[in-house]
Amino acid sequence: MSAVMTDFGIAETLKVLGIKDKNSGASTGNYWFATRGEEIVSYSPVNGEKIASVHAATEAEYEALILKANEAFKVWRKVPAPKRGEIVRQMGEELRKYKNELGKLVSYEMGKSYQEGLGEVQEMIDICDFAVGLSRQLHGLTMHSERPNHRMYEQYHPLGIVGIISAFNFPVAVWSWNSMLAWVCGDVCIWKPSEKTPLCAIACQNIIADVLKRNEVPEGVSCVIIGDHTVGELMSNDKRVPLVSATGSTRMGKAVGKAVGERLGRSLLELGGNNAIIITENADIDIALLAVVFGAVGTAGQRCTTTRRLIIHESMYETVKNKIKSAYNQLRIGNPLDQNNHVGPLIDKQAVEMYLHALKEAEKEGAKVVVEGGVLTGDGFESGCYVKPAVYEAKNSFKIVQEETFAPILYIMSYKTLDEAIELQNGVVQGLSSSIMTLNMREAEQFLSTAGSDCGIANVNIGTSGAEIGGAFGGEKETGGGRESGSDAWKVYMRRQTNTINYGNQLPLAQGIKFDI
């Protein structure tokens, strides 16, 4: 272990979370993962050092896991929902015990700040609390029948196996958004984490394993299967997996959606974002500036809700631009486990190459540098994954502006009228998150109206990132249309059934049809 790792307690953290140098555990359900596939090594973007290795699943192991999960579902679906909720409550308590350690691992393996790592684990705890209450509220509807002595109602039943494909940028929270809801709904889960952050998945399974064992939950209710895109393809094409929830790029989501759709399965897609903040002439500039900077550089720009475009009223443009330059000059970039730093590394060198490509394309299309980007080298930046957050003056029509680059690059532009600003905001293929900064009620209401933002998330006087678990999370257009987490997102994990009961001594037919024999 290096000095950097020791200083921040990584060695002890790995030990507490049960992470070994070579993680090749048993391949059964609750003990989770593969033993015979190719080795995958997890390197930290913090310092480039190897953390530990895992093994990818073979197709035979995938098949065994599916069979195990299917058998577990037959038992789990019969457990009363409130009792399933009680088990999820216990999982939440375990996550509370390991919050600091898991948050540190998230920070070290993914590269986000330690505070953001803790925040991600807190999201897991919060969704456990939400799911516990939900376990007593999986309600249907009762409606009046047109036929005498008949009763009609709707109820919801669990689907079966839920496949969860998660991305590296939120290596634990997104799994919990899906799994905790799916479990109280009576489903079983197979989780394919990103091959860039497999250790976080192992840690999560280690944390909840004791809860599962104590409650005699059948193996297969919670499964982790590690591998590359081929595992996702197996899951997407498998008719035994009625729902696939996939979080990641639009390109990946289109492939998953096509495969699942061809077999008439269900897909829950939470994909890319190209999020904008509108700053009107009636904005509180101090609040707006904080929202913009955190939204643009938080997680080094690797959130689907990252602020990528800033649309500023022409009367405020120069003022806001200069304040952004000043704020960016104060950013501290470095080891994310050091809480004095604002910005950590990108996930890997491939992400750095994509960042550099975007900078080059922006300048080629005529964008003007406001804050210069670049790769950082020298002491503390040995991994080669640290980059400078960049700001460009650009047009919304630029090809590179229309794309989502998973890096801290902010494009700024001006507008004259609010109608024009909203048109710019909506003028991309993605539709995840959006914000307006204004103290004018009419501007705020127009932004939230039918003729306003076309995104799944629309905020007033807060940034584009930092969604709470109480609301349904997701977006429109090429963001995929899926909804995870709060509100009534639970319904996607269940199948709806309409029931009619005849308690009379005759059989009247619907629509008044007569059929005498």
Active site amino acids: 270, 304
Query: Half-sphere exposure (CA, 13 Å, Cβ side) for 381?
Result: 17
d(C-alpha 255, C-alpha 51), whole Å: 31
Query: Of 65, 97, 19, 75, whose CA–CA distance to 215 is shortest?
Result: 75
3-state secondary structure (DSSP) of residue 108: helix
d(C-alpha 216, C-alpha 393), whole Å: 59
* 85: amino acid identity, one letter: G
Is-contact 319 289, C-beta < 8 A? no
Burial of 457 (0-12, 13-18, 19+ CB in 10 A): buried
Q: Which residues contact 475 (CB under 8 A, 6 or more apart)?
A: 270, 271, 273, 430, 431, 432, 433, 455, 456, 457, 481
Query: Of 387, 285, 253, whose CA–CA distance to 331 is shortest?
Result: 387
d(C-alpha 179, C-alpha 385), whole Å: 31
Q: What are the tokens at 40? A: 């995958």
Is-contact 168 248, C-beta < 8 A? no
Query: Of 41, 22, 23, whose CA–CA distance to 31 is shortest?
Result: 23
Query: Of 174, 162, 158, whose CA–CA distance to 235 is shortest?
Result: 162
d(C-alpha 298, C-alpha 465), whole Å: 9
Q: What are the counts of helices (DSSP H) followed by strands (DSSP E) for the chain?
A: 16, 24
d(C-alpha 293, C-alpha 277), whole Å: 11
Query: Of 80, 91, 78, whose CA–CA distance to 180 is shortest?
Result: 91
Residue 50 host element (H or E) = strand 50-55
User: Phi and psi of 129, rounded to 5°?
Assistant: -60, -45
Residue with tokens 């922006």: 362
Residue with tokens 């799911």: 131
Q: What does DSSP say about strands 307-313 and 275-279: parallel, antiparallel, or unpaired?
A: parallel
Q: Which residues contact 333 (CB under 8 A, 6 or more apart)?
A: 341, 342, 343, 344, 376, 386, 388, 389
Residue with tokens 């704020």: 327
β-bridge partners, 466: none
